[in-house]
Amino acid sequence: MTEHIKPLRAVFVPFRMGHHFGVPFHVNAQRRIIAEALDFVRTATHSGQILDLLRWADLRREGAQIEKQQKS
């Protein structure tokens, strides 16, 4: 959808609906997403450029480990 519309700048995060900043409790990843998105606003070189961030599977695995650590 984003590639078709071609907004001036877009950051693609491959997360499920409602998880715009990744998995719960994964503060480092959430900060990284925000920092990289803000940096991209400044550094994007052309209209329609899309920054593809992170992988859901990787973050979900890391998030599960964080949740497990919090419970123990």
Q: What is the pLDDT of residues 16-57, one digit of tens each?
A: 777 777 777 788 888 888 898 899 888 888 888 888 777 777
Helix (H, G, I), strand (E, B) or coil at 29: helix
Which pLDDT value is given to residue 39? Answer: 92
What is the extent of the structural domain holding 58? 2-71
69 alpha-carbon distance from chain centroid: 23
53 close to 36: Cβ distance less than 8 angstroms = yes
Q: What is the pLDDT of residue 37?
A: 86
What is residue 48's predicted lDDT score, i.e. its pLDDT? 81
Task: Report pTM.
Answer: 0.65
C-alpha–C-alpha distance, residues 50 and 9, integer Å:
6
How many domains, in total, are found in the chain?
1
Task: Give the number of other Cβ atoms within 10 Å of residue 25's Cβ.
Answer: 14
pLDDT band with cut points at 50, 70 and 90 for residue 1: confident
